[in-house]
Amino acid sequence: MRNLITAVFISLMFSSFVSAAEMQHHQHASQDAAVYHSKGTVKAWGEQKVSLAHPAIPALNWPPMTMNFLQPQPPLPALVAGTAVEFSFRQVDGGYQLTAISASQD
């Protein structure tokens, strides 16, 4: 009986350890989300979101579109609507977040 209790206790400890390790790995993976790059045009600028029109992004199998990107915190410096830009972004909970944006030098 003592061996059975010991085996159950060890199994529970091991499964808790594995679950904690999986959670930590999941959190680390989301922090290391791929960063994508594109060009586009600013359509609207806000404290929480930036609307950008961009060409197709093959890495994500996206067609050309206009979409909102979340602002990082603190927000990036504002650019006016109509500005041609180069930008980088990553996937986060709740959408896609800008990591960098600058006026194009074209």
| Cα–Cα dist 102/34, whole Å | 19
Residues 85 and 41 in one domain: yes
Is the same domain home to 49 and 77? yes
Can you give the pLDDT at residue 105? 86
- pLDDT, tens digit (0-9, with 9 covering 90-100), for 33-88: 899 999 999 999 999 999 999 999 999 999 999 999 999 999 999 999 999 999 99
Residue 26 has pLDDT above 70, yes or no: no
CA of 80: how far to CAs of 14, 22, 28, 106, in Å? 55, 43, 35, 17
What count of other Cβ atoms lies within 10 Å of the Cβ of residue 58?
Answer: 7
In the chain, where do the E strands start and end? 35-45, 49-54, 65-70, 84-92, 95-103
67, 58 Cβ separation under 8 angstroms: no
User: What domain range includes position 93?
Assistant: 35-103
28, 57: one domain: no
Model-level pTM?
0.70
Asked whether residue 56 falls in the same domain as residue 90, the answer is: yes
